[in-house]
Structure 1
Amino acid sequence: MPLHVPPAPAPALRSVLTALGSPTAVREAGSAALRSAQEPAVPDLPLPVHVLDRITPEGITATRLAGWRFLIRCGDQAVAAAETMLTPDGWTFSHFFEGPYVTSTERALRQAEAMSQPYQPRLLSMPSLYMLTLWLHGDLSDDGSTGHPAATDLLVPLAPAPPGIAAHLPHRVADLLPVLTHRVAPIRLMGSPA
């Protein structure tokens, strides 16, 4: 089934295109692959980036939209990513980067394309665990900027994943949240009140 990629806000896309057209922005990018690209760099597959700020003991999650991430392709290969963020003046380009999450995101998207059920892809960042997942959201009518992980949605941890969590193995939110809740729970010291 094809993935239903939500359209990025037009100002976010324009800001990335402007940055790609700026020799200064590309030269100062933290991406050697982008600086040395021989083919034109094109933004592709915009994904909303949501941040999971907390997981309660009941497993209820609170997420917020933090930005939009575009894979930057040169030819048929993703060589970098561009991050945008929302400011009081609207969507603006933040930075270019490369690294394992670029190739891992591309791999997870290919895996998701091969699934039989349609999904809306998003990225879900869990800063307290140093973890990034491809969030496969089942409600295709969402615009990508709102919502929280439903129990039947899938999370695909991207590499590098935290110890004990397999990268690129899809997990239902209902199955993975209890594991994550346990990992972010505060550790009680011996003798401390319960």
Structure 2
Amino acid sequence: MPLHFPPAPAPALRSVLTALDSPTAVREAPTPALRTAQQPATPELPLPVHVMDRITPEGVSATRLAGWRFLIRCGDHAVAAAETMLTPDGWTFSHFFEGPYVTSTERALRQAETVTQPYQPRLLSMPSLYMLTLWLHGDISDDGATGHPAPADLLVPLAPAPPGIAAHRPHRAADLLPVLTHRVRTARLMSSPA
């Protein structure tokens, strides 16, 4: 198995398990598939969610850990995801959700399993581009909570991807990040007052 999942913080996992055991949390979640599931729901495949919310003038990406995401499996596939976040009191459950990124993440992880090189899977969100990627980090000894995309890391855009970016096609970070940097800068220039 070439994917080496970093261990999620124990309090993050506990908070998701507690939410899954709470009829109120599940019933009030905007996740019909989770509410109507006939099989037990289990959190699996913990992924640290890193956000790239700025790119320096030199083109260097600045990322920060925003949370941990668990795919919620019922039977043989994921029906939802659970997001956790870090608060002053520690890791806590944030929300359940479903939609295209859940199935797209599951698909991208299955594709990544076929790669011969070992990787540590993470998620990289780029809010300014409305883009989420599966980030396959080459240093499997990292704790998952820190770091930036290395040039040889792979980024797999998840569907729906921004126009002109093919979903589920792996790109070396060194090749994709300059394209994304250009898009971010262009978007900033177009939104700046004249």
TM-score norm. by structure 2 comes to 0.95
Q: Which moved more, 1:13-22 or 1:56-65?
A: 56-65
* 1:8 equivalenced with 2:30 (yes/no): no
Show the counterpart of 1:92.
92
- Letter paired with 1:44: E
Distance 1:132 1:25 in 2: 25
Show the counterpart of 1:122.
122
Show the counterpart of 2:137.
137
Show the counterpart of 1:172.
172
**Secondary structure at 2:2 match in 1:** coil
CA apart distance, 1:187 = 2.3
* 1:22 equivalenced with 2:22 (yes/no): yes
**Secondary structure at 2:189 match in 1:** coil
Unaligned runs of 5+ in 1: none
- The 5 Å alignment of 1:176-187 reads 176-185=176-185, 186-187=188-189
- Letter paired with 1:31: T
Distance 1:80 1:57 in 2: 37
Distance 2:57 2:76 in 1: 44
**Secondary structure at 1:110 match in 2:** helix
Distance 1:63 1:188 in 2: 24
Distance 2:177 2:59 in 1: 6
Distance 1:177 1:7 in 2: 27
Show the counterpart of 1:42.
42
Show the counterpart of 2:62.
62
Unaligned runs of 5+ in 2: none
Distance 1:155 1:27 in 2: 35
After TM superposition, the runs of 4+ consecutive aligned structure 1 residues lying more than 3 A away are none
Seen in structure 2, the aligned counterparts of structure 1 residues 188 and 32 have a Cα distance that, compared at 3 Å, is closer
Distance 2:190 2:10 in 1: 47
- Letter paired with 1:66: A
Distance 1:155 1:183 in 2: 16
- Letter paired with 1:187: L
CA apart distance, 1:188 = 6.0
Q: From the two aligned structures, give the one with the greater helix fraction.
A: 2
**Secondary structure at 1:187 match in 2:** helix
CA apart distance, 1:2 = 2.3
* 1:81 equivalenced with 2:81 (yes/no): yes
1:57–1:181 CA contact under 8 A, matched in 2: no
- Letter paired with 2:74: C
Once the two structures are superposed, residues 74-114 of structure 1 have per-residue CA deviations (whole angstroms, 9 ceiling, x without a partner) of 01110000000000000000000000000000000001100
Distance 1:157 1:32 in 2: 26
**Secondary structure at 1:106 match in 2:** helix
TM-score norm. by structure 1 comes to 0.95
